[in-house]
């Protein structure tokens, strides 16, 4: 087992979000172990400036080009930090030679091209941005092999599985079981789901996350994306992936081996642990995070996922079986549907309708290239936006 070399130089894409800010907390709490090479935000210039002043990276990227002047002016007295803007700059920064690992903590399809560039430049990837593996799992895992880099999961379920597999290199997986909290609407009927509001959907029982993944968790699309993410991270056949609802979110996921033995990883729901594990890998770093006690959780419970009510999970399994560009269509349609729901334009159940109809309408490709994924994403957004507009209230 290789040992970790510290300090590790981190490029943190999406530093102003839920994962990004928690990653910076991990870095602050581990003095001498990590340095920050680059930071990026989409539009939150104020927080990006503060972070840049504290961590003094070699580069920052603001996605929204209209805010470049503001960030440049604020960092004018910090000549060591280059200030850039726009998606092309983001991809360039992901590939800069002065980082060891790129933590992809931006949300959505926007993670794809920077992640491709980082892998091509030989960077290890700490992957929070699951959408990248959903959209282009085959392409990304091929690139990872070709460039000999590590793809380290940050998603808590995948981190759990990854941790269970340490020392098991000789032992094939029989199956994995991804746990799901069930979200705020567990147990509701479709009639009840038709009435739920954005505010209710944004209240996750166990995790405090960005808006998009919180809606995905309420609709079970997040679990569907995670099923596809797991397939690629762990090289699984579709039928080797199960989902079980576990409302307490203490068991973060499980691996079953060929002798029937199950290994699980447990802990309080706190993303700082999987973030730290990915950044520190292969070393476990001491920390002050609150510890789990069984006595505080006398009951850990389990139930099947209701894919009849929560259609998104069934749609994601179906897109995975179809393969090709189907998961890319699923993802793009979902991004459009979630954004429309967050603008109060469509209802909760209509999100699945937009995804399902997009999957039926957008042209299927069995073996897409990177360019094909870019075109599929664009075409799907057009189709899904039209579908969402037709349903807008």
The answer to whether 229 contacts Mg ion (rule: CB under 5 A) is no
Instruction: Residue 267: name its binding partner from ligand NDP, Mg ion, none (Cβ under 5 to 8 Å by kind).
Output: none
Q: Which of 121, 210, 244, 345 binds ligand NDP (CB under 6 A)?
A: 210
- Which three-class secondary structure state does DSSP give residue 5? coil
Instruction: Residue 209: name its binding partner from Mg ion, ligand NDP, none (Cβ under 5 to 8 Å by kind).
Output: ligand NDP
Alpha carbon distances (Å) from 103 to 21, 39, 125, 368, 376: 12, 10, 6, 26, 26
Are the beta carbons of 159 and 153 closer than 8 angstroms?
yes
Number of helices and strands in the chain (H, E): 16, 11
The answer to whether 183 contacts ligand NDP (rule: CB under 6 A) is no
Q: Taking CB positions, which residue lies at the least distance from Mg ion?
A: 155
- Residues between 248 and 307 with contacts to ligand NDP, criterion CB under 6 A: 271
Instruction: Residue 131: name its binding partner from Mg ion, ligand NDP, none (Cβ under 5 to 8 Å by kind).
Output: ligand NDP
Are the beta carbons of 65 and 89 closer than 8 angstroms?
no
Are the beta carbons of 212 and 106 closer than 8 angstroms?
no
DSSP per-residue string spanning 236-251: --GGGEEEEE-TT--E
Q: Which of 207, 289, 292, 364 binds ligand NDP (CB under 6 A)?
A: 207
Minimum distance of ligand NDP from residue 16's CB (angstroms): 4
H-helix or E-strand containing 102?
Answer: strand 101-104
Instruction: Residue 381: name its binding partner from Mg ion, ligand NDP, none (Cβ under 5 to 8 Å by kind).
Output: none
Minimum distance of ligand NDP from residue 233's CB (angstroms): 13
Minimum distance of ligand NDP from residue 365's CB (angstroms): 24
Which residues are within 8 A (CB) of 97 and not within 5 positions of it... i.e. 6 or more apart? Answer: 121
Minimum distance of Mg ion from residue 127's CB (angstroms): 12
Stretch near Mg ion under the rule CB under 5 A, chosen from 85-93, 157-165, 251-259, 285-293? 157-165
The answer to whether 155 contacts Mg ion (rule: CB under 5 A) is yes
Name 266's bridge partners: 251
Measured from the CB atom, the residue of 212 and 311 that comes closer to ligand NDP is 212
Radius of gyration of the chain (CA): 20
- Which three-class secondary structure state does DSSP give residue 301? coil
Q: Which of 8, 14, 57, 362 binds ligand NDP (CB under 6 A)?
A: 14
Measured from the CB atom, the residue of 117 and 130 that comes closer to ligand NDP is 130
Are the beta carbons of 35 and 7 closer than 8 angstroms?
yes
What DSSP character marks residue 32? T
Are the beta carbons of 289 and 273 closer than 8 angstroms?
yes
What is the pattern of x (binds ligand NDP, CB under 6 A) and - over residues 120-159? Answer: --------xxxx-----------------------x----
Pairing of strands 101-104, 124-127: parallel
Number of residues that bind ligand NDP (CB under 6 A): 28
Measured from the CB atom, the residue of 91 and 209 that comes closer to Mg ion is 209
Instruction: Residue 271: name its binding partner from ligand NDP, Mg ion, none (Cβ under 5 to 8 Å by kind).
Output: ligand NDP
H-helix or E-strand containing 13?
Answer: strand 8-13
Stretch near ligand NDP under the rule CB under 6 A, chosen from 168-176, 208-216, 243-251, 280-288? 208-216
Name 264's bridge partners: 254
Minimum distance of ligand NDP from residue 261's CB (angstroms): 27
Stretch near ligand NDP under the rule CB under 6 A, chosen from 35-43, 163-171, 309-317, 349-357? 35-43
Instruction: Residue 42: name its binding partner from ligand NDP, Mg ion, none (Cβ under 5 to 8 Å by kind).
Output: ligand NDP
Comparing C-alpha atoms, which of 234, 14, 224 is closest to residue 115?
14
DSSP per-residue string spanning 145-194: HHHT--EEE-SHHHHHHHHHHTT-TTS-EEEEEEEE---TTTT--HHHHT
Tell me how far apart the alpha carbons of residues 185 and 248 are, in angstroms, rounded to a whole number: 14
Number of residues that bind Mg ion (CB under 5 A): 3
Minimum distance of ligand NDP from residue 331's CB (angstroms): 10
Comparing C-alpha atoms, which of 219, 215, 238 is closest to residue 227?
238
- Return residues touching ligand NDP (CB under 6 A): 14-20, 41-44, 63, 105-107, 110, 128-131, 155, 207, 209-213, 271
Residues engaged in binding Mg ion (CB under 5 A): 155-157
């Amino acid at each position: 087992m290789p040992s970790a070399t510290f300090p590790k130089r981190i490029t943190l894409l999406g530093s102003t979000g839920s994962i990004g800010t928690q990653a910076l907390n991990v870095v602050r709490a581990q003095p001498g172990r990590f340095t920050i090479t680059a930071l990026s935000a989409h539009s939150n210039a104020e927080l990006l400036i503060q972070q840049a002043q504290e961590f003094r990276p070699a580069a920052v990227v603001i996605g929204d080009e209209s805010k470049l002047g503001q960030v440049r002016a604020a960092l004018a007295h910090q000549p060591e930090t280059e200030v850039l803007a726009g998606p092309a700059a983001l991809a360039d920064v992901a590939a800069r030679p002065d980082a060891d690992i790129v933590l992809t903590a931006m949300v959505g399809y926007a993670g794809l091209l920077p992640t491709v560039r980082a892998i091509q430049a030989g960077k290890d990837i700490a992957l929070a941005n699951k959408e990248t593996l959903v959209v282009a799992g085959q392409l990304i895992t091929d690139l990872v092999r070709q460039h000999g880099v590590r793809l380290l999961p940050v998603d808590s379920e995948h981190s759990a599985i990854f941790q269970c597999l340490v020392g098991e290199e000789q032992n094939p997986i029989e199956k994995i079981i991804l746990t799901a909290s069930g979200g705020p609407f567990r147990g509701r009927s479709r009639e009840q789901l038709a009435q739920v509001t954005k505010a209710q959907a944004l209240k996750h029982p166990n995790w405090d996350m960005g808006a998009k993944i919180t809606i995905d968790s309420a609709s079970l699309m997040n679990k569907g994306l995670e099923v596809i993410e797991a397939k690629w991270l762990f090289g699984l056949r579709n039928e080797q992936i199960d989902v079980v609802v576990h409302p307490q979110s203490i068991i973060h996921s499980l691996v079953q081996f060929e002798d029937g033995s199950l290994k699980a990883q447990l802990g309080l729901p706190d993303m700082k642990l999987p973030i730290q594990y990915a950044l520190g890998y292969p070393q476990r770093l001491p920390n002050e995070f609150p510890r789990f006690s069984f006595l505080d959780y006398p009951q850990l419970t389990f139930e099947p996922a209701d894919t009849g009510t929560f259609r998104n999970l069934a749609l994601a399994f179906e897109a995975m079986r179809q393969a090709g560009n189907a998961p890319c269509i699923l993802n793009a349609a979902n991004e459009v549907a979630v954004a429309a729901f967050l603008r109060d334009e469509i209802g909760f159940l209509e999100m699945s309708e937009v995804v399902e109809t997009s999957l039926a309408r957008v042209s299927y490709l069995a073996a897409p290239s990177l360019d094909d994924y870019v075109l599929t994403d664009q075409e799907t957004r057009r189709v899904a936006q039209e579908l969402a507009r037709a349903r807008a209230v």
